[in-house]
Amino acid sequence: MTYRPTAWIVGLALVVAAFLIVPSLIAIPASFTDRTYLSLPEHTFSLQHYKRFAADQAWRRSFMLSAGTALTAATIATVLGTAFSIGLWGIAGRWIGLLKGMVLLPLAIPGIVAALAMYLLWTKLGLYDTVTGVILVQVAVGLPFVVIVTSAALAMLDATQVKASRSLGAGPWRTLRRVVLPSIRESILAGFVLALVSGWDESVITLFVTGRNVQVLPRKIWDSLRYDIDPIVAVVATLMLALTLAGVLVFLLFSKRGGGRPEAG
């Protein structure tokens, strides 16, 4: 029997979704303001601040730097998180829960506590206000999401497929490449998207571990709001929303394609 939610449950879900989404959407009309300060449009919509963003080398450099660090960190987090999940899936022991708990710990630690700890550690290691330091922060933030989604996918994977592959003569690496990875590739992509968005959006820790040299978007936005309340902030926020939505849509389109069957042997 198929469960169908009642009207009030659907309505409540829509209200919660609107409560979460609508505040973020306010940045879109604000980016088209006709005023010289951050506000909603008064008389007409204007593209002047988009033109200013395109002509402002500092903002463009900050945008590209954030995109580069987020993509690099998401790639590293996806590789490490997938390898970690597959490694735990292939073994058994009392330490599995502890190891997984250590990887997921960043999700439980308050952001301000993690920011202070990383600031002190990065200062000692010479990583403060460096691109490498920012990438490592984003890897730490995105890694738990990759582990969660890939571990869930592996938990639903039929282990007899792996046994059949090995019994047909395929080695561990061939089995991994032809059976395991194709079976969880949608989850790997989902982990990559989550790691990318979390790293792209990370602001609290980033503000602690960066200064004047590495002007990633969270630092640039913070400085702009702190000193001049430039409407370009709303432009950047709109572009970030658009890119995040595009990434989610790409993931949804890819997952609907379904992919082929894993091959053994």
Quote the pLDDT of residue 128. 93
Quote the pLDDT of residue 125. 93
Q: How many CB atoms within 10 Å of residue 90?
A: 13
Quote the pLDDT of residue 80. 95
Whether 118 and 208 have beta carbons less than 8 Å apart is answered as yes
Where do the domains of the chain lie?
A: 47-257
CATH of the domain spanning 47-257: 1.10.3720.10
Find, among 165, 117, 151, 153, the residue nearest to 137 by Cα: 117
Quote the pLDDT of residue 5. 66
Quote the pLDDT of residue 69. 94
Exposed, middle or buried by CB within 10 Å (0-12, 13-18, 19+), for 11?
exposed
C-alpha span between 241 and 264 (Å, rounded):
41
DSSP per position, 169-236? T--HHHHIIIIIHHHTHHHHHHHHHHHHHHHHH--HHHHHH--SS---HHHHHHHHHHHT--THHHHH
Look-up of token digits 């009309």: 29
With the C-alpha atoms ordered 255, 106, 17, 229, is the resulting torsion angle positive or negative? negative
- Non-local (6+) Cβ contacts of 162 within 8 A are 175, 179, 180
Find, among 239, 235, 241, the residue nearest to 45 by Cα: 235
C-alpha span between 196 and 84 (Å, rounded):
18
Exposed, middle or buried by CB within 10 Å (0-12, 13-18, 19+), for 207?
middle
3-state secondary structure (DSSP) of residue 9 = helix
Amino acid at 39: S
pLDDT profile of the chain (265 residues), mean per 10: 69 82 82 83 87 89 91 95 87 73 84 90 92 94 92 82 72 76 86 87 87 85 78 87 79 59 43
Q: Which two tokens stand for residue 68?
A: 């580069």
End-to-end CA distance of the chain: 39
DSSP 8-state symbol, 45: -
Quote the pLDDT of residue 174. 78
Quote the pLDDT of residue 169. 72
Amino acid at 139: V
